[in-house]
């Protein structure tokens, strides 16, 4: 199975900052990657699919990039509602697998 590795595990940032989260696949997955945001007590929220396409209703401060094995989620000008855990997920083949997540916390 494809192992998805996210870094860092935790990111401490101040509101208004720009953050960059990384996700690496153990083998090439083309552009078959999604990013999710999760807050306590809620299910994940789809942010990005196909590595760089924003899902419906997602603000343009969220952007995704990358292909192959290296992917990045960037959040420009972090807002208070953006403090959460972010997961990546590949959908290149079976089984689907997720990264362990990056927690973005208030500095």
Partner 1 sequence: QVQLVQSGAEMKKPGATVKVSCKASGYTFTSYYITWVRHVPGQGLEWMGWISGYDGKTKYEQSLQGRVIMTTDTPTSTAYMELRNLRSDDTAVYYCARRAPSSGGWYFDFWGRGTLVTVSS
Note the residues at the interface with partner 1 (CB under 8 A).
32, 34, 41-46, 49-50, 55-56, 87, 89, 91, 94-101
The structure tokens listed for 79 are 């807002």
Closest CA to 99 of 77, 70, 56: 70
The structure tokens listed for 63 are 């952007």
Residues 67, 102, 90, 43, CA torsion sign? negative
Nearer to partner 1, 17 or 103 (CB): 103
Nearer to partner 1, 17 or 22 (CB): 22
Nearer to partner 1, 56 or 80 (CB): 56
Q: How far is the CB of 46 from partner 1 (least distance, A)?
A: 5
Q: How far is the CB of 64 from partner 1 (least distance, A)?
A: 12
**Which residue matches tokens 């935790």?**
10
């Amino acid at each position: 199975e494809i192992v998805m590795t996210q870094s860092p595990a935790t990111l401490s940032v101040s509101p208004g900052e720009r953050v960059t989260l990384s996700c690496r696949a153990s083998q090439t997955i083309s552009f078959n990657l999604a990013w999710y945001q999760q807050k306590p007590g809620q299910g994940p929220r789809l942010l990005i699919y196909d590595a760089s396409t924003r899902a419906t209703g997602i603000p343009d401060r969220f952007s995704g990039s990358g292909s192959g094995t290296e992917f990045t989620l960037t959040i420009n000008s972090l807002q208070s509602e953006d403090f959460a855990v972010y997961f990546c997920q590949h959908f290149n083949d079976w089984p689907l697998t997720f990264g362990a997540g990056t927690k973005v916390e208030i500095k």
